[in-house]
């Protein structure tokens, strides 16, 4: 029994899908590269969904994790996300999220109190996470601490809220799976485990495209 009649596998870069071996073996799967960051996926996905409908769209990618006591190369299913660094600074240089200003309705565009939620996040047994979607990667410790007080989260990406925004508003069922490749701060790219994270993502993608998976599965991916 196949997972879905029509499945979309998406990522921000081709590299994040390079560890998968079964993508080219299934004609019921479309592969789509959204582009990196918050703005490109909004355009590319909106255009895609205006012309195509899928039973499920799954976004795969690496991510940064905030808790440095947490092991890397861990899978997360994004359950809620927000544009955490989108806002203004007041006269005292305090950051005010756009969702907390009079310029924006924090319950508009399928948001709930400033967040995008995915009701399908728990379906396949992967640990769920709150995700901060950022437009810039900042490793300065005090900045991260201040942001986490405002937006508590486990992981950080640059595309999650954009993906959720489009899927929710286009009524597209979706899932987002991330594998942690690094700690958000302090920034030290020499310690990043990008290639091992991509390898694990590939194994996970192959699991999802396997014909043995059904909607009722709750197996935790190793």
pLDDT in tens, 135-148: 987 767 688 888 89
Distance CA 137, CA 159 (A): 12
Q: Which range has the worst mean pLDDT, 112-121, 141-150, 193-202?
A: 141-150
| pLDDT on residue 146 | 83
| pLDDT on residue 141 | 67
The residue extents of the domains of the chain are 7-209
Interval 69-89: pLDDT, tens: 999 999 999 999 999 988 888
| pLDDT on residue 211 | 53
CATH code for the structural domain at 7-209: 3.40.50.1580
Confidence category of residue 189, pLDDT binned at 50, 70, 90: confident
């Amino acid at each position: 029994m196949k997972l879905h009649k029509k499945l979309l596998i998406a990522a921000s870069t081709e590299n994040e899908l390079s560890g998968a071996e079964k993508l080219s073996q299934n004609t019921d799967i479309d592969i789509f590269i959204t582009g990196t960051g918050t703005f490109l996926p909004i355009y590319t996905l909106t255009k895609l969904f205006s012309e195509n409908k899928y039973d499920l769209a799954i976004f795969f990618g690496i991510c940064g994790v905030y808790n440095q006591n947490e092991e890397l190369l861990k899978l997360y299913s994004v359950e809620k996300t927000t544009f955490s660094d989108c806002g203004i600074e007041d006269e005292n240089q305090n950051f005010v999220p756009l969702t907390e200003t009079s310029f924006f309705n924090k319950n508009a565009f399928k948001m709930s109190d400033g967040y995008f939620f995915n009701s399908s996040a728990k379906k396949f047994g992967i640990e769920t996470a709150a995700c901060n979607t950022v437009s810039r990667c900042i490793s300065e410790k005090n900045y991260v601490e201040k942001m986490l007080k405002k937006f508590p989260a486990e992981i950080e990406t640059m595309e999650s809220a954009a993906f959720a925004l489009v899927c929710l508003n286009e009524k597209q069922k979706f899932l987002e799976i991330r594998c942690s490749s690094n700690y958000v701060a302090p920034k030290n790219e020499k310690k990043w485990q990008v290639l091992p994270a991509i390898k694990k993502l590939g194994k996970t993608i192959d699991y999802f495209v396997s014909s043995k998976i059904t909607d009722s599965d709750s197996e935790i991916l190793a």
